[in-house]
A and B are shown apart, each in its own frame.
Chain A
Amino acid sequence: DQQVKQNSPSLSVQEGRISILNCDYTNSMFDYFLWYKKYPAEGPTFLISISSIKDKNEDGRFTVFLNKSAKHLSLHIVPSQPGDSAVYFCAASAYGGNQFYFGTGTSLTVIP
């Protein structure tokens, strides 16, 4: 049972425009959410996180939005750069928990 879902396997965006990556979850116990970025042949790299007590967290070009009622989070990248081209995974965990539950990833291509 996939508790974290990324329904868009791929996304293409022009350089300089906004990239929006979406993630949905089913487990209402999840209260901490993260985005990871993965290049081929490398492990996932932590990008940004958000706690359920917030609805927005911003770090430079990256902003994560959390809509708890809809069990939905999104990652906004603006402006998008070619170096942002990678696979993005969202992950979720429950307070006091340990394992992260990952989505299946969205492959972002930023076109120069």
Chain B
Amino acid sequence: DTGVSQDPRHKITKRGQNVTFRCDPISEHNRLYWYRQTLGQGPEFLTYFQNEAQLEKSRLLSDRFSAERPKGSFSTLEIQRTEQGDSAMYLCASSLWQGIEETQYFGPGTRLLVL
């Protein structure tokens, strides 16, 4: 399977703990996105990378959130001092940006539950 993969698929944690999620994009894709989705809503943009550079962060991304894509391949999203409001599905997507329209391909998501 050469699609976008995410690990773990599910994470239950206690409030105040740190969690880290991993995303492996489609291999030739140069852009990688993180989204958050809560019940009854569509995915909401958090941040994206072009190769290893983080080019944009949403105001939804508080200081407790940090994302990296150190070698322009896989990416990690860390949430420090988790809060119950962080409970959501975290989606990763990748795309091949060539200067025109791009199509983002999503992974299966990591469902986070903060108790």
Contact = CB atoms under 8 A, between A and B. Distances in A.
Contact of B109 (A4, A43, A102, A104): A43
B33 A102 contact: no
A99 B106 contact: no
Contacts of A51: 101
A98 B31 contact: yes
A98 B108 contact: no
Nearest to B49: A98
Given A49-B103, A98-B48, 16 more contacts: A32-B101, A36-B106, A43-B91, A43-B93, A43-B109, A44-B91, A46-B103, A46-B104, A49-B101, A89-B42, A91-B42, A93-B101, A98-B33, A99-B45, A100-B45, A104-B42
B105 interface: yes
B4 interface: yes
A99 B106 CA distance: 13
B107 interface: yes
Interface in A39-62: 41-46, 49, 51
B44 A43 contact: no
A99 B33 contact: yes
A99 B42 contact: no
Interface string B73-115: 0000000000000000001010000000111111111010000
Interface string B31-73: 1010000001111110010000001101000000000000000
Contacts of A95: 101
Contacts of A49: 101, 103
Interface string A3-19: 01000000000000000
A93 B43 CA distance: 13
B34 to A, nearest CB: 10
Interface in A68-112: 89, 91, 93, 95, 98-105
